[in-house]
């Protein structure tokens, strides 16, 4: 079977990237050290600060790493950014880096397909969001981003497998991630007990998102009934 040129390029790029992190010692050690730092907010903060003028870049890369492959809460990085740079600077850094990570997840699925997405997340996680995303499109992305108990990574991977445009995905993701990012950042920078503050506000976001989801479902059912009558 003759492979298409685009398929060969995709495979070649993947092999080069994976090989680089396996066989180039500085990259391999850097990746292992970065991954091992994801133990607590304190360890992430100390790791980021240790890079001095390169700290912003390291924080950005850590957020992308956790988005793509590491099953670690993003708030470790968001809290750390706010503690180091203040709540609004930290929020900007966390939001932009999370958006970059989400975009990368989206394009991994869009370019390499479902098999690759399942390697980074899980088959079950993708199946849980497939139907809902296909039915509600960018509205589902926005709602899912607002819900504090829905993991970000499967959402981004699943969206890349649908017919949704990147523009719609990016806008919905940006709007959905913004409230939680601001809450996390403000709490980390100003509160002596940020976790309690965050939990309270995220519950509020979750209830609001749930109400919005119910409204979407109700509207969709009414439209279906109207079409049946007509």
- Domain locations in the chain as residue ranges: 37-229
Give the tens place of pLDDT for each residue, 163-190.
888 998 999 899 888 888 888 888 888 8
- Give Cα separations from 208 to 39, 102, 212, 214 (angstroms): 31, 23, 6, 10
C-alpha torsion sign, points 147, 163, 15, 98: negative
Q: Are 124 and 114 in contact (CB under 8 A)?
A: no
pTM for the model stands at: 0.80
- State both tokens at 224: 């279906």
Q: Are 188 and 82 in contact (CB under 8 A)?
A: yes
Please tell me the distance from the alpha carbon of residue 27 to that of residue 18, in angstroms, as a whole number. Answer: 11
Give the tens place of pLDDT for each residue, 27-70.
788 888 888 888 888 899 999 999 999 999 999 999 998 888 75
């Amino acid at each position: 079977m003759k492979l298409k040129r685009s398929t060969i390029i995709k495979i070649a790029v993947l092999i080069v990237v994976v090989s680089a992190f396996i066989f180039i010692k500085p990259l391999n050690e850097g990746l292992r050290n970065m991954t091992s730092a994801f133990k607590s907010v304190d360890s992430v903060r100390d790791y980021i600060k240790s890079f001095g003028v390169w700290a912003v870049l390291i924080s950005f890369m850590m957020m992308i790493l956790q988005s793509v492959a590491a099953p670690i809460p993003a708030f470790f990085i968001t809290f750390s950014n706010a503690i180091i740079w203040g709540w609004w600077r930290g929020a900007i850094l966390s939001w932009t880096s999370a958006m970059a990570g989400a975009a990368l997840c989206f394009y991994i699925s869009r370019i390499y397909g479902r098999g690759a997405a399942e390697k980074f997340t899980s088959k079950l996680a993708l199946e849980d969001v497939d139907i809902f995303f296909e039915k509600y499109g960018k509205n589902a992305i926005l709602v899912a981003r607002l819900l504090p108990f829905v993991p970000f990574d499967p959402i981004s991977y699943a969206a890349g497998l649908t017919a949704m445009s990147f523009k719609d995905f990016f806008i919905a993701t940006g709007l959905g991630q913004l409230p939680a990012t601001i809450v996390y950042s403000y709490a980390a920078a100003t509160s002596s007990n940020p976790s309690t503050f965050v939990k309270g506000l995220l519950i509020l976001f979750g209830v609001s998102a749930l109400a919005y989801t119910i409204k979407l479902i109700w509207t969709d059912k009414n439209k279906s009934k109207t079409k049946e009558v007509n």
